[in-house]
Chains A and B, each alone.
Chain A
Amino acid sequence: MNAFLATVRRDLLLALRRKSEVLTAVFFFVIVTSLFPLGIGPEPVLLKKIAPGILWVAALLATLLGLPRLFSADHVDGTLEQMALSPSPLGLLVAGKILAHWLLCGLPLVLLAPVLGLQFDLDASTLGILTLALFLGTPLLSLIGAIGAALTLGVRGGGVLLALLVLPLYIPALIFGAGAVEAHIAGLDAGGHLSLLAAMLAVAAFFAPWATTAALRIALE
């Protein structure tokens, strides 16, 4: 457990020394969501209807931006090999890196979403559901994305390939995440969607670090 916390701390520290990388993804999220009202037109009824989808797709893409950095720097300078050789299990260290990635790339999106939701004229209870859905969904995105990042480590055209591999796997999270908000707007119970999202998170939290570790070992061979 110490190794896990140390990895989280190390990755957070490294990222905070280079703040611009983290902030780029956050600004990307803000800019993309702001582009839609400009492109579609300022009709409140329409914007309110498409807001959950836009915020979720933007969160998906913003998470994707940070994924190539998850392992590449450690792979280049050899830290990853040392991690694989270290006495603590690699899966635990990988889980720490994924948690750090979520704290840096996912959590800011969760915190920003209510503010951006105001742009789309969502009311307070809808904003609450949106934030809750993103809070359950963004760790799922980080977990699934880590598998893709490990698979494409050091591969030609890794960035584009990563998007091709990971985005189809993100679709269930998108459907239920945006679905929860849409159901709430329509006056239905959002609980079912949120429960499914939480169930997917639980399954991914168990399997994804394990699959990521297997993929990393292949990349390190």
Chain B
Amino acid sequence: MKQSIIQWFRFASPQSFYPLAGRMIPWFWAAAAAFGIAGLWISFFVAPTDAQQGEGYRIIFVHVPASWMSMFIYLVMAFWAGLGLALNTRLSGMMAQSLAPTGALMAALSLWTGALWGKPMWGAWWVWDARLTSELILFFLYLGFMALQAAIDDPRRADKAGAILALVGVVNIPIIYFSVKWWNTLHQGSTINLTKAPSMAQTMLWGMLLMALCFWMYSIAVALTRVRAIILERERHTEWVKHALE
């Protein structure tokens, strides 16, 4: 038992995680490309034209995965931040820091594609509805997290301060997720539900799931690339970094 715990924590050290991340990155890029090509092919050529929304609905193949990822990445970020705060591991803070820009990108993408969809469907780029507003708050939370980390020079203190902010902001995630249920808003309810059959064509669902997997793999690949850069920057005084860069 003791042995397995030690094995599990082996990759908590930046030194051993750095090469592991380097080996994993190409695989995640490949997976992202494969899912992306399949997802885009389905979403553009296979999925039927929507009876009510015409061709314009196809933006949901980017919009929905981006929104999912923006919420999910925040949860993962808060998880790493909390782990770093509880166990005082250096790598956890680096993971949280590396996830934040990707999360902010996803939130921005979700708001932007939502606006592009909203203009022809609702007749407005932006409406002050609960889900849109809470997604905007999520975007601000990412920006606040990054600004706080950037403002504190000592990386250990920056990690811990950012962790508290991330954990406070977690309250927002269920509010976004359930906003369409709790408030009677303009934004439509979720079309995919675990408890009942999805209210959309099978091919559309496949396209959306493949795009979600593509975004997922892309996020992991980018976060790992970024965490490698952060490891090098923070550990630059150590011997192994000098060897790693040779």
Contacts and interface: CB of A to CB of B under 8 A. Distances in A.
Contacts of B157: 218-219, 221
A169 B169 contact: yes
Interface residues of B, number: 21
Interface in A204-221: 211, 214-215, 218-219, 221
Interface of A: 147, 151-152, 155-158, 161, 164-165, 167-169, 171-172, 175, 211, 214-215, 218-219, 221
A interface secondary structure, majority: helix
Interface string B124-158: 00000000010001001101100110011100010
Contact of A165 (B152, B160, B165, B167): B165
Contacts of B161: 151, 215, 218-219
Contacts of A221: 157
Nearest to B161: A151
B59 interface: no
B140 A168 contact: yes
A172 B137 CA distance: 10
B143 A164 contact: yes
A152 B148 contact: yes
Interface string B211-242: 00000000000000000000000000000000
A84 to B, nearest CB: 15
A151 B148 contact: yes
B140 A211 contact: no
A151 B147 contact: no
Nearest to B142: A168
A214 B148 contact: no
Q: Which of B137, B168, B169 has the most CB of A within 10 A?
A: B168
21 contacts: A147-B164, A147-B168, A151-B148, A151-B164, A155-B152, A161-B147, A161-B151, A164-B143, A165-B144, A165-B147, A165-B148, A169-B169, A171-B137, A172-B175, A175-B133, A214-B85, A215-B161, A215-B164, A218-B157, A219-B157, A221-B157
